[in-house]
Amino acid sequence: MMDECSPGKYRYSLGMYEKALPDEMPLDEKMLLAKESGFDHVEFCVDLLEERAARLNWPEAERERWRSTAVRMGVPFTTFSLSLLRKTPLGMLDPEKNREAFRVIDEGCRLAVALGSRVMLVNGYDVYDEPSTPETVARFYENLPTAVGICAYHGVILGIENAEMPFCSTIEDAVNYCRAVPSPYFRVYGDIGNATNAFCGDADKTVEDLRKGRGYVTSLHLKDSLPNEYRFRDYGKGHVDFAKCIAAAKEIGVHLFTAEIFCDTGRDYIGYVSEVARFLRNYF
């Protein structure tokens, strides 16, 4: 039996993205199913869905209720996805949109602190529903120090994710943004599915990219992908080399992982999340 303080206990933590289960499922049921399926934590999400966006307005009692529930159940909200920011990315040219982005980041940090989340993910976009231009890239760089400063003030790590757009499609891209605003509170939340797509399925180039994140990658999304397929590809049915990527992640010191599963209600989604947990743990 492993000793409570044994170094082996702290090799890695594997979480489940809460959107692995139906939106209408109560959050505490998702937490219980995550634990029963073999996951260590749940990645909490605030996104464009009205019910999840409204979480930023939770009163103190509601925040405390969920913090206590996480502690009681032993399923922490270790990571926090602030996907809502894609509505007002930091590269938008409208100053009002920029102020709204800062407000969302500030409220996100306050909720993260209340829930006990350590890392808050933002997608690597300068803009989302409009073309990226030199002006939007410049505005992103202009606004980035304020965003990082808000997170530093709250003591929350801001993790920029390499996403599906050229603006930030690789882990090296994300690292370069971190280098532009040096801060212990600004790091990379890597995604091996997105990185593999950026390198057209070349596992060796993906691993090389991941190694460039040494010292910057705080957390890693584990998902499969294929060209132009970023979300619903079954694990093991895409072109991600999980063996090589997870080995490289461990090599550079990553301990925090999340299975970024998206729910397909047309299947046995409960059975599938258990299957994914077993699939991924085999590579550790």
Q: What is the DSSP string of 234-274?
A: PTTSSS--HHHHHHHHHHTT--EEEE-----TTS-HHHHHH
Q: What is the structure's pLDDT at 1?
A: 39
Q: What is the structure's pLDDT at 230?
A: 85
Q: Residue 130 sits in a domain of what CATH number?
A: 3.20.20.150
Q: 41 CB contacts (<8 Å, ≥6 apart)? A: 13, 14, 15, 16, 34, 75, 76, 77, 78, 79, 258
Amino acid at 144: L
In a domain, 263, yes or no: yes
In a domain, 71, yes or no: yes
User: Residue 11: is its pLDDT beyond 90?
Assistant: no
In a domain, 3, yes or no: no
Digit-coded pLDDT (tens) for 34-68: 999 999 999 999 999 999 999 999 999 999 999 99
What is the pLDDT averaged over residues 268-276? 96
In a domain, 7, yes or no: no
Q: Give Cα separations from 219 to 50, 85, 139, 143, 259 (angstroms).
A: 27, 19, 26, 23, 11
Confidence of residue 8 (pLDDT cuts 50, 70, 90): low
Domain with 76, as residue range(s), is 14-281
The count of domains in the chain is: 1
In a domain, 2, yes or no: no
User: Residue 228: is its pLDDT beyond 60?
Assistant: yes
User: Residue 154: is its pLDDT beyond 50?
Assistant: yes
In a domain, 6, yes or no: no
What is the pLDDT averaged over residues 167-194? 98
pTM over 0.75: yes
Confidence of residue 136 (pLDDT cuts 50, 70, 90): very high
What is the pLDDT averaged over residues 95-103? 98
In a domain, 5, yes or no: no
Q: 261 CB contacts (<8 Å, ≥6 apart)? A: 16, 17, 19, 20, 223, 272, 273, 276
Query: What backbone phi and psi angles, to 5 degrees, belong to 189?
Result: -105, 95
In a domain, 4, yes or no: no
